[in-house]
């Protein structure tokens, strides 16, 4: 029998009619193949109706993957104690012959498909399969990419309804023209807490050729929410092939003088200030994580891939994060994951208010001082605990930009990471290519709890995208450099560093100083203020920052603080260039020739400055 005949035989009539309404034989064949392999007891097909979304939310509670909290609309979900972050080791790109790519975890495609299909055979027996349709990017636009998700986790399906735009009607509209991405997930066998049991068989395999992602024996969102970082690998590959950019970037509006609106994208590794930057109360958020950027009529136009936030909750407090705090205490629909629950209320690390001494968290029943099997003390919530909420819940969301079919014009692009001793707090590249090479492609950051492994290690992470790369890094950078040839108005590129310390280990930035750096960048995009030329780009003038600190934060800003922050640390910067060049020559291999030319020019500028001014150069020296 053909695919539709099989689906008619296997599905209940109402669910089959939903599939039959989509005229796409490729979709029918995909569904038939995996329904037969997964072998669920029943299948529910989600349309764009509110009833279908409510059904999924109810099933997340019914199956015990989520539980109600005291505030209406709030639920909590727990992942297994050892399933709390992206599993980099078991996330593999399936490529023919297992071709090796720098920094990427590859596996022979045939071998990987064979293994994952064996793990998934009958994995949904006794369970319900949810078939969900979504789109990446705004609907009916140049950014739109349709996607279909198969999952036996109502929590995963519920999360995607919050995070992504519904796509059933788009599939119907596009019919056979839909060039869609495919995701197959099973949480596998569950334990008594309704968390994945067989973590030794946790696998996340990404088939680049067929644009299909497989995920099994895991529930953590970064491993299972298909349209997020898993789809990201597929869209990066598409973007490089087609000449646009799919980036690990927020998209926000910075409000300039006289009502001016300037849009910025920003790439930061996890826990490096990305979300808090995008959420500054007096600016406007469009997206906090992923952006598509396309050349359009000479401009770089950007759109948020998503419509919600899957954010890290640790450290969110009313003083530093007033917008997020307000949202988390509203009655909007929110899924809290891996936090402490006491009397129906969520608590998390460093939230700025007293936390109960006992309750329930990702380890089960919890009390202060509890230790895990390795003897490590268990904190109230996991350091990678999350909240999932729609952007519409945020009072400062720019809804017009979020839903704009043609996106928004990008005025500036920001790269930032955790760097205790090298980069100044903010600087501007001389031009697009200088920024791409010395700021984006040279990005390093200390590792955090968002991925499994040791924390606090300085890690090479170009464009904050290395964990998600799916093409050769040299090819990716070449696409970035060539992107400027497709536009007549280049976005200005900036680098920021919120984590600079002095020689005693004291912070040189306050958490809210980023708001001042943003205002300065907005002014630079429009040429409203001058800047100081240094060997590594343009930095702010002291008088401009002093004024902005007063206007934006209502506080003073001393010449001493400015000098400490914006000193050009020549030995550290030269050492960084040596590290970056060595990585590219020894580990990356083939990259565009101009990459090394631009890096070499920066090295020479630093050497010349050292010969004239010494190793540590005050910013005031460059104004003499």
Per-residue pLDDT of 253-291, as tens digits, reads 999 999 999 999 999 987 788 888 998 989 999 999 999
290 with 350, same domain: the answer is no
440 and 553 belong to one structural domain: yes
Is 71 a member of any domain? Answer: no
The set of residues, in sequence order, having a beta carbon less than 8 Å from that of 525 and lying 6+ positions away, is 262, 411, 412, 491, 492
Assess if residue 74 is contained within a domain. Answer: no
Q: Among 191, 224, 241, where does a domain finish?
A: 241
CATH code of the domain covering residue 386: 2.170.8.10
* Domain with 373 in it: 310-392
Catalytic hit among 46, 132, 272, 406? 272
Tokens 């998503």 locate to 306
Same domain, 287 and 422: yes
End-of-domain residue from the set 340, 371, 392: 392
Last residue of a domain, one of 217, 241, 265: 241
Q: Of the candidates 482, 481, 488, which has an alpha carbon nearest to the alpha carbon of residue 299? A: 488
**Consecutive H or E run containing 400:** helix 399-403
For residue 77, is it within any domain?
A: no
Here the CATH number for the domain that contains residue 474 is 3.90.228.20
Q: Is residue 133 part of a domain?
A: yes
- Which CATH number goes with the domain that contains 20? 3.40.449.10
Are 464 and 433 part of one and the same domain?
A: yes
Q: Give the model's pLDDT for residue 593.
A: 92
Residue of 143, 281, 146 whose CA lies nearest to 226: 146
Examine the residue annotation and report whether 132 is marked as an active-site residue of this protein.
no
d(CA 144, CA 135): 6
Same domain, 295 and 424: yes
Q: What is the DSSP letter of 125?
A: T
The predicted-structure confidence for 158-200, as pLDDT tens digits, reads as follows 999 999 999 999 999 999 999 999 999 999 999 999 999 999 9
In sequence order, which residues have a C-beta less than 8 Å from that of residue 261 and are 6 or more positions away? 253, 254, 255
Element housing 444 (H / E): strand 444-446
Domain membership flag for residue 575: yes
Write down how long the chain is: 624
pLDDT of the residue at 511: 84
Regarding whether 264 and 201 lie in a shared domain, the answer is: no
> How far apart, in whole angstroms, are the C-alpha atoms of residue 347 and residue 340?
5
Query: Could you tell me if 277 and 352 lie in one domain?
Result: no
Q: What is the 3-state secondary structure (H, E, C) of 292-316?
A: EEEEECCEEEEEECCCEEEEECCCC
Q: Which residue has the tokens 């979304």?
A: 53
Q: 155 and 71 in contact (C-beta within 8 Å)?
A: no
Instruction: List, in sequence order, every residue forming a beta bridge with 517; answer none if it has no partner.
Output: none
Using alpha carbons, select from 466, 426, 472, 420 the residue that is nearest to residue 442.
466
- For residue 174, the tally of other CB atoms under 10 A from its CB is 19
Tokens of 541: 């003038």
Q: How far apart are the first and last CA of the chain?
A: 82
The helix/strand/coil state of 530 is: coil
Residues 40 and 177 in one domain: yes
Using CA atoms of 331, 334, 336, 341 in order, give the dihedral in degrees to the nearest 10.
20
Q: Which residues of the chain have pLDDT under 70?
A: 447-456
Give a yes or no: residue 75 inside a domain. no
Domain match, 478 and 571 both: yes
Same-domain check for residues 512 and 422: yes
Residues 331 and 387 in one domain: yes
The neighbour count for residue 555, using CB atoms within 10 Å, is 11
Are the C-beta atoms of residues 525 and 253 closer than 8 Å to each other?
A: no
Residue 452 resides in a domain: yes
User: Is the residue at 437 inside a domain?
Assistant: yes
Based on the fold, state whether residues 33 and 127 are members of the same structural domain.
yes
- Number of compact structural domains in the chain: 3
Strand, coil or helix: what is 251? strand
């Amino acid at each position: 029998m053909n695919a539709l005949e099989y689906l008619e035989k296997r599905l209940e009539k109402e669910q089959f009619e939903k599939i039959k309404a989509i005229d796409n034989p490729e979709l029918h064949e995909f569904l038939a193949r995996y329904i037969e392999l997964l072998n669920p007891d029943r299948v529910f097909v989600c349309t764009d109706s509110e009833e279908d979304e409510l059904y999924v939310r109810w099933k997340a509670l019914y199956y015990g993957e989520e539980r109600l909290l005291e505030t209406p609309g709030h639920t909590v979900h727990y992942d297994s104690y050892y399933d709390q972050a992206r599993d980099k080791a078991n996330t593999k790109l399936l490529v023919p012959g297992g071709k090796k790519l720098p920094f990427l975890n590859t596996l022979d495609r045939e071998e990987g498909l064979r293994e994952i299909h064996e793990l998934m055979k009958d994995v949904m027996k006794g369970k319900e399969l949810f078939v969900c349709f979504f789109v990446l990017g705004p609907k009916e636009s140049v950014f739109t990419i349709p996607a279909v998700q198969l999952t036996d986790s109502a929590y995963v399906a519920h999360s995607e309804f919050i995070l992504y735009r519904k796509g059933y009607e788009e599939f119907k509209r596009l019919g056979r023209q839909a060039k869609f991405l495919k995701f197959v997930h099973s949480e596998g066998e569950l334990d008594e807490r309704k968390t994945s049991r067989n973590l030794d068989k946790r696998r996340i395999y990404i088939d680049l050729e067929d644009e299909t992602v497989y995920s099994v024996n895991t529930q953590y969102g970064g491993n299972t929410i298909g349209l997020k970082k898993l789809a990201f690998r597929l869209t990066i590959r598409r973007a490089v092939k087609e000449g646009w950019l799919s980036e690990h970037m927020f998209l926000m509006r910075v409000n300039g003088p006289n009502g001016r609106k300037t849009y910025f994208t920003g790439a930061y590794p996890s826990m490096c200030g990305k979300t808090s930057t995008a959420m500054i109360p007096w600016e406007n958020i469009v997206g906090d994580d992923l952006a598509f950027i396309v050349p359009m009529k000479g401009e770089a136009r950007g759109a948020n891939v998503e419509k919600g936030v899957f954010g890290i909750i640790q450290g969110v407090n009313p003083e530093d994060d007033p917008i997020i705090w307000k949202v988390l205490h509203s009655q909007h629909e929110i899924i809290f994951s891996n936090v402490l629950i006491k009397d129906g209320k969520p608590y998390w690390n460093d939230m700025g208010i007293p936390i109960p001494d006992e309750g329930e968290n990702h380890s089960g029943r919890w009390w202060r001082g509890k230790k895990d099997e390795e003897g490590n003390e268990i904190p109230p919530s996991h350091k990678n605990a999350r909240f999932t909420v729609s952007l519409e819940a945020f009072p400062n969301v720019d809804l017009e930009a979020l839903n704009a079919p043609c996106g928004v014009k990008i005025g500036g692009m920001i790269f930032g990471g955790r760097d205790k001793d090298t980069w100044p707090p903010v600087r501007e590249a001389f031009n697009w290519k200088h920024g791409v090479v010395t700021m984006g492609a040279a990005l390093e950051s200390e590792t955090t709890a968002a991925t499994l492994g040791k924390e606090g290690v300085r890690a090479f992470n170009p464009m904050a995208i290395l964990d998600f790369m799916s093409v050769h890094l040299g090819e990716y950078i070449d696409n970035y450099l060539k992107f400027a040839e497709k536009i007549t108005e280049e976005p200005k590129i900036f680098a920021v560093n919120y984590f600079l310390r002095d020689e005693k280990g004291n912070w040189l930035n306050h958490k809210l100083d980023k708001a001042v750096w943003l205002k300065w960048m907005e002014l630079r995009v429009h040429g409203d203020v001058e800047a100081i030329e240094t060997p590594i780009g343009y930095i702010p003038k002291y008088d401009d920052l002093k004024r902005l600190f007063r206007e934006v934060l209502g506080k003073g800003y001393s010449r001493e603080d400015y000098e400490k922050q914006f000193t050009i640390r020549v030995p550290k910067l030269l050492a960084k260039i040596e590290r970056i060049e060595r990585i590219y020559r020894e580990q990356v291999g083939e990259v565009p020739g101009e990459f090394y030319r631009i890096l070499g020019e920066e090295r020479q500028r630093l050497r010349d400055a050292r010969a004239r001014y010494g190793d540590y150069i005050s910013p005031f020296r460059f104004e003499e």
